[in-house]
A and B are shown apart, each in its own frame.
Chain A
Amino acid sequence: MKHVYVIFIVPATLLIPLAAATGKSVLRFRPLRVIYVYLLFVVSIEILSRVVGARGINNLPLLHIYTIIEFLFMMCFFMLAIPNQAISRLALWLMAGFTLCCIFDFSFIQHMNQFNTYPRTLAALIISGFCMYFFYTNAAPEEEKPWAHNPLNWVVTGLLVYFGSSFFHFAFQNVLFQKASLTVNYFFAYLHATLVMVMYFFFTAGFIYARRQR
């Protein structure tokens, strides 16, 4: 079967962080609970996109909806991970503003059957910014434990690696689709899938460290 890696292996790795997160000891961390629900949401979108794709319908409109909901999850995560009122207020404003931008984008700028490169790139930029701010605030932690023992460090690293590295890919998806060959498009699809998998592995590490902190 063609593209087993992208179609089966990478989506299957979603089950690894979900399995690692099972149990009260992990889900008592509220930011991790958000990530857990986000992963469940990703699973449901994966299934839905497969069903829609199997019926020969373009599933790109799902990506437009997915981008909005994913951004809302990320903002909720950072509101809990960075205990700062100003950050919470900013995240709330961004949640509302970004949702409106996405609606405006698919209504007037980029058709639902195209990649939503503008909002997706903007989301990657904002999320990377929040990741950087998280690390900035945690540069000199109050708690006396090594970097690796904080589960949030792993989760934020995963987010930064994925959204930071995929930034250019998000920006040029439509250009790639129109101007590059199918092979090149597949290459970047594989690269993107690998980054997604790396993010899931970082999530898994975060959940495992959270489980150890009983």
Chain B
Amino acid sequence: MPAASDNIFVLLSLSIGGAFLLIVSFIIIQVRNQNRLLRQKKKLDEAEIVHQKDLLHTVIRSQEEDRRRIGQNLHDDVGSDLAVLKMQISGNPGIAANMPLIERVIESVRTISHQLSPQMLTFLGLYEVLEDLCENLAAGGQIHATFECDEQLIRYAWPESVALALYRVIQELVANTLKHAQATRLEIGICLEGDIIVVNYRDNGKGLQPGPQKGMGMANIVSRLEMIGATWEQLEEPGYRMQIRILRPSSPITGEEEGKTLQINAR
């Protein structure tokens, strides 16, 4: 066997260079792989969020449909039966003493059916419905509720889906105020700021707790606002813990414009 004439310089250089290249390749593959996994995870998360939103929107739509149906049935069936009963009682002096009770029941059914299916929105618009809501709250004596609206906005033609969403949002906020805020004063207002319409909701209660909200109420509010292309934010103002501002172009609104951007800020 001939004597080995290997050059240690070449061999060692190749070994070091080879090891270095292998390591660098390994690191590059690792980085690329990890970043690709991250991108895939982000995509999946985004798809999941979109799916959850769609699901919530569907739930809200079907909930609204159910409310409308139940409200309609209450109004048309139970309401008309009660009206017949009232007529019969009024014609029978023996049981006429029950008349106040029947009238209270009729009034309750009417209120519940309107809350479930605010048909007034279609006939009277958002302004009248909100005014009615505040009057009912004030009549309850639990809270001092006021409603203000710029004159030029009283007959503003809100698209039905937008008006319904806003009404539900305000309804939810009122429910939160009554249940949790321990507020003594509540204000709802619609005004014009420049070329945008601002809907304000504020109370002097405890305000929203910082961090993620536990109940479904806030999720429903956010979802409803998203459905009409709106956003919201919580701001603080002395004396008030919560204020919602709904901003919308003041040009006349048609049905096609329902998808237009609507920005909502909450203080």
Measured CB to CB, the residues of A under 8 A from B are: 135, 138-141, 144-148, 157, 160-161, 164-169, 172, 175-176, 179-180, 184, 187-188, 191, 195
Contact = CB atoms under 8 A, between A and B. Distances in A.
Contacts of A166: 16
Contacts, number: 65
Contact of A167 (B19, B34, B37): B19
Interface string B9-20: 100110110011
Contacts of A138: 34
B23 A179 contact: no
B20 A187 contact: no
A165 B30 contact: no
Interface in B1-56: 8-9, 12-13, 15-16, 19-20, 22-24, 26-27, 30-31, 33-35, 37-38, 41-42
Interface of B: 8-9, 12-13, 15-16, 19-20, 22-24, 26-27, 30-31, 33-35, 37-38, 41-42
B30 A135 contact: yes
B31 to A, nearest CB: 5
Main secondary structure of the interface of A (DSSP, over half): helix
A144 B41 contact: yes
B30 A164 contact: no
Main secondary structure of the interface of B (DSSP, over half): helix
Nearest to B32: A147
A161 B34 contact: no
B6 to A, nearest CB: 11
Contacts of B27: 135, 157, 160-161
B9 A168 contact: no
Closest 3 CB pairs of A and B: A168-B15, A165-B20, A164-B23
16 contacts: A135-B26, A135-B30, A140-B37, A141-B34, A144-B38, A145-B38, A147-B30, A147-B34, A147-B38, A165-B23, A169-B12, A172-B8, A184-B9, A187-B9, A188-B12, A191-B16
Contacts of A144: 38, 41-42
B4 to A, nearest CB: 12
Nearest to B33: A139
Contacts of B13: 191
Nearest to A164: B23
Given A146-B38, A160-B26, 6 more contacts: A144-B38, A160-B27, A161-B23, A164-B23, A165-B20, A168-B16
Nearest to A160: B23
Contact of B35 (A146, A157, A169): A146
Contacts of A175: 8
Contact of A139 (B15, B19, B23, B30): B30
